[in-house]
Structure 1
Amino acid sequence: MDKLVHDTFYHIYNRGNNKENIYYKDSNYIFFLQSLDSYLFPYLDLYSYCLLPNHFHLLIKTKSEETILKNGKINLKNVSFDEYGEIIGEIFRRFFMSYSKAINRQENRSGSLFKKLYQRKPINSDNYLIRTILYIHLNPVHHKLTEDFETYRWSSYNKMLNQVKSKLRKNEVLDMFYGIENYIKLHKEERDLMVLRNEEL
């Protein structure tokens, strides 16, 4: 799998090993997001997310090399561009390991919580970026957990619409959609299409 590179949007996702749950109660979702903040925010920006019982989706943008050198918790002064992806990969590994250990203790389980390799897809166009945000926010509808994606608690959809301070890149996301009204409109249109497709299956 290709290494992560700097200044690039990625759709990051993974699921539980053997499709098992990775979240068992509300505090697990909260801990996951807190750990994401602690481990990864020095190295990337978060644009959207959705956490479902057995998998998650993140839209991230890796930070510039200059910002990494300035804010990163690891000494990267002698790091080349070729090594950058290895460092980001290592930070993701530590993040997943920390979360897995906490859940294994909670559930008195052992072994891998996640599938071995998390997926990362680079995003190379504005249209693909918007489609990815829609897909992430509507994932609960896609998996038939609910048709009311607007009130799904573990998604960033509503976080974009409130005034609560957050590390989400809210203004940038809303600018991609040319404002709040179009952001809401496109999500609802995509939801309606998804519901129809689900009914046809």
Structure 2
Amino acid sequence: MIVIIDYDTGNTKSISKALDFIGLQNKISSDTTEIAQADGVILPGVGAYPEAMQELNRRGLNKTLKEIAAGGKPILGVCLGMQLLLESSNEHGYTKGLGLIPGHVDMLPDESEFAVPHMGWNQLEIKRTTPLTKKLAGEYVYYVHSYYANCPEDYIIATSGYSINIPGMINNGNIYGAQFHPEKSGQIGLEILKGFKEVIRSCKSSQQ
């Protein structure tokens, strides 16, 4: 069972529908016990970093996510959810993040030929092959964001060119993040979610 975390800051229903479409059993929940018992967790997110992090803290979900990560279960952060996996953000002042992947969140450079927010389809360049990236080389995915993950190259598994090379996907162990929206990226987005299922299956096998 995949649990999509509901903390009033994410596009939970569209992710759930995408998982339904490829036959992955899932549930939307804010209950920490249900989340802790999941085989894998998806952390969605839209909106501002400080408010999202405040809501995770208020609900005790920050602690639950850290415990899940420490236990080796897979986590996938999507859009703002990916950014929350990092150590901190400079959006509207300093905010401490979950700290599950090294790095910080900064605003995209505001240049005349590159609009902020960055919205639209961009091509992926794969930096490291993982179950989530193995079918993505040269494919296009859909972005909507004004901030990006400024993290060490070792944790970046895919990028897209814009005013900078945007980290499109990041990874630390069984923790993954996608800055773009897999659930809005057509068939290739579904392949990413299938890859997450593969990670979950592998983790379950290794823990038996």
TM range (shorter): under 0.3
Highest relative contact order (Cα 8 Å, sep 6+), 1 or 2? Answer: 1
Greater share of helix residues, 1 or 2? 1
| Bigger strand fraction | 2
TM-score, structure 1 normalization? 0.25
- Normalised by the length of structure 2, the TM-score is 0.24
